[in-house]
Amino acid sequence: MAGDRELRVKIVRQLARKKVVGSHKKQVETVKNWCATSDQGRAEELIREMITDPDAPLEGYGGSRDNVRLTSIDAAKKYIVDHGGDLPWGLRDD
């Protein structure tokens, strides 16, 4: 079972890798399913916490479904690096 910090980074990293920003959005159910089965309940809680956290690069997106997206790719990159994660290929500056 992954720790909270690792799960947060994994969620943001996956959203960044898939470039879920702007009009591109994902359902919370889809995002939590990217995590191990044993982590999915906690992942959903963390997603909901990050939506309300002004320091996290995640925001809820309107509509009738439960959707999320990144505030920006740059904010996601900073969050990943600041929290000890590795940037996914395609987002690295080197």
Domains of the chain plus CATH, in order, are 4-82 (1.10.10)
Residue 47 has pLDDT above 70, yes or no: yes
Give the percent of the chain with pLDDT over 70: 96
Give the C-alpha separation, 90 to 94, whole Å. 10
Over residues 74-78, the mean pLDDT reads 95
Over residues 68-81, the mean pLDDT reads 96
Over residues 59-80, the mean pLDDT reads 90
In this predicted structure, what is the pLDDT of residue 64?
Answer: 62
Q: Round the average pLDDT of the chain to a whole number and report it.
A: 92
Residue-wise pLDDT tens digits, 11-41: 999 999 999 999 999 999 999 999 999 999 9
In this predicted structure, what is the pLDDT of residue 93?
Answer: 73
